[in-house]
Amino acid sequence: MKFFIDTANLDQIREAQSLGVLDGVTTNPSLMAKEGITGEKNIIQHYFDICEIVDGDVSAEVISLDFNGMVKEGKILAALHPQIVVKIPMIEDGVKALKYFYDEGIKTNCTLIFSAGQALLAAKAGATYMSPFIGRLDDISTDGLSLIQEIRDIYDNYGFETQILAASVRHTMHIIECAKIGADVMTGPLSSIKGLLKHPLTDIGLAKFLEDYKKGN
């Protein structure tokens, strides 16, 4: 299972990278705005800075809603750095753009997936990754993890190679349940990744080991 961090915050990306378990980064326009990154030039520079920190794939989202605009933007983003994955929204022109980039050999991440039907379309169009937003489904009293299971079953039925990127992960249990289902990737905040570290028995056990070591010295 690949671990991506879902942020545009460079310090958090560096911290996750230093753990040695990071496989990539996802961003979106809201995450960019949260870091105060605005304007095309600054956004492009920020994507480049992220790519210089991590070794894996970095999703960079297009803003256009029409096919020609998505293709133009996506080409600029893809040319920026070999690690860039063009993030395309699940809309009609987005499906066309996914197919276009597939034919061009450019990696894509189809975003804003909320149903099995959308996941099926993204795979048919040749998306490299597709991102079901599990936290946002949970927010509206719909089981996000069930969607991950449904998509896993469908993709396995036909051997689709599109990777299931469980997005909108909010906490450690999302990660663990996604791993049990067999999501290929999860993207979440640093807190969800570092949360996996914690267990009170680890802390208690370690304190006792150190206490006993001191007794013997």
How many other CB atoms are there within 10 angstroms of residue 177's CB atom?
Answer: 18
By beta-carbon proximity to ligand E4P, the closer residue of 30 and 217 is 30
The only residue of 12, 26, 118, 162 in contact with ligand E4P, by rule CB under 6 A: 26
- Residue 214 falls in the annotated catalytic set: no
DSSP states along 129-168: EEEEBHHHHHHTT--HHHHHHHHHHHHHHHT---EEEEBS
Q: Is the dihedral of CA 78, 80, 83, 89 positive or negative?
A: negative
Q: Spell out, one character per residue from 30 to 69, where the chain touches ligand E4P: x when CB under 6 A holds, - when not.
A: ----------------------------------------
The only residue of 108, 131, 163, 192 in contact with ligand E4P, by rule CB under 6 A: 131
Residue 176 backbone phi and psi in degrees, to 5: -65, -45
Q: Which of 81, 4, 1 is nearest to 44 (CA)?
A: 81
From 34, 87, 99, 215, the catalytic residue: 87
Q: Tell me, what amino acid is at 163?
A: Q
Q: Does 163 bind ligand E4P (CB under 6 A)?
A: no
Cα separation, 192 vs 195, in Å, equals 5
Q: Does 108 bind ligand E4P (CB under 6 A)?
A: no
The only residue of 71, 187, 192, 193 in contact with ligand E4P, by rule CB under 6 A: 187
Task: With CB under 6 A as the rule, give the number of residues binding ligand E4P.
Answer: 11
Active-site positions read 87
Residues of the shown chain interacting with ligand E4P in the complex, contacts defined by CB under 6 A: 6, 26, 28, 111, 131, 133, 135-136, 167-168, 187
